[in-house]
Amino acid sequence: MESPRNAFARLAAALDTLVDQELAQIATRDYQGVLRTQQRTTPVVEQLAQIGAGAADPEAQERVRRLMAKRQRSHELLADQISIAREALSRTDATRRRLSQIAPAYTYGSQAVVPRRLSAVG
């Protein structure tokens, strides 16, 4: 059976890999991949919490602190990208509203007057 200290080290290594994957997926805007990675990360974090910090040596505890800081950075990057997307959507909605207000001025009666050039009359 695996000792709690070894299990903690193994899980910390797995978390390290998952956090790096998450950062890479955020950088490439692979949001489905981010979601899958976060779903895979949850049980690892839960198992680390279950084992507890008492099973880890100071070096392993510091490693987990660094990983949690990386994850916080991931969350901040995602929040920034969500904010940018919301702003773009807001601008698109505003443009759509303006267009719907002015479109009738350009389409009213325009179908009745269609210039015919190059019309073959037989």
pLDDT at 72: 92
pLDDT digits (tens, 9 = 90+) for 51-89: 877 777 788 888 888 988 998 999 999 999 999 999 999
More confident residue, 101 or 112: 101
Q: List the domain boundaries for the chain.
A: 4-99
pLDDT at 108: 61
pLDDT digits (tens, 9 = 90+) for 11-53: 989 999 999 999 999 999 999 999 999 999 999 999 988 887 7
Are 67 and 15 contacting, i.e. CB atoms less than 8 angstroms apart?
yes
Beta-carbon contacts of 9 under 8 Å, excluding residues fewer than 6 positions away, are 56, 60
